[in-house]
Chain A
């Protein structure tokens, strides 16, 4: 089992560029989510999905789009990158909502720098 696979691991973007962070899981988890982690702040939820075709906003959704066409994939799109989006991004999946008894499974993270 690969678990949660995130790509790329590192990315540098220029202000205004767009890009997609990929996230795939092979555990048949219904719930998938994207977080960003910034120094001095807890993990903050960007967007989440409770199943294919269903997405919703988290606490910091502005500047990001998501879609969930399959159970396995949950890409995060940066529409027009800004320096404020410099962060480490984590994808996490679980059985619906609370993660059941196993908690959330995290990807390895993407370190994004916007210059």
Chain B
């Protein structure tokens, strides 16, 4: 069974702080790593899909890196804003059947 773990479970930061969180996954039979942003009362929205070891992707103030050999990905938010408050989900796609396995998310609260 493929387990995807995210840490920390929750995080409170002040506006302007930079922050990062971790997604870890078994590295065997890895195919892709997804990051999603999930605001309260809405549905998850895709941020990044990464497949290659060493991949680094960026969207505005949010970026992500991928290490498939050691089985982890970091999501970074530079200069957090209150509108960044959300749960950030990662999901790993691996194994023969290529189904996504989801982590429980990191809940980020940015205080103005």
Contacts and interface: CB of A to CB of B under 8 A. Distances in A.
Contacts of A44: 102
A104 to B, nearest CB: 6
B interface, over-half SS: strand
Contacts of B31: 98
B49 A43 contact: no
A99 interface: yes
Nearest to B33: A98
Contact of A42 (B45, B47, B103): B103
B46 A42 contact: no
Contacts of A90: 43-44
Interface in A71-114: 90, 97-109
B34 A106 contact: no
B46 A105 contact: yes
Task: Categorize the interface residue count of chain B.
Answer: 20 to 34
A61 interface: no
A58 B32 CA distance: 19
Nearest to B103: A42
Instruction: From B44, B98, B102, name the one whose CB has the most chain A CB atoms within 10 angstroms.
Output: B44
19 contacts: A41-B104, A42-B4, A42-B104, A42-B105, A43-B44, A45-B99, A45-B100, A58-B99, A97-B98, A98-B32, A98-B49, A98-B93, A99-B32, A99-B46, A102-B46, A102-B49, A103-B47, A104-B46, A106-B43
Interface of B: 4, 31-32, 34, 36, 42-49, 51, 89, 91, 93, 98-105
Interface of A: 40-45, 48, 58, 90, 97-109
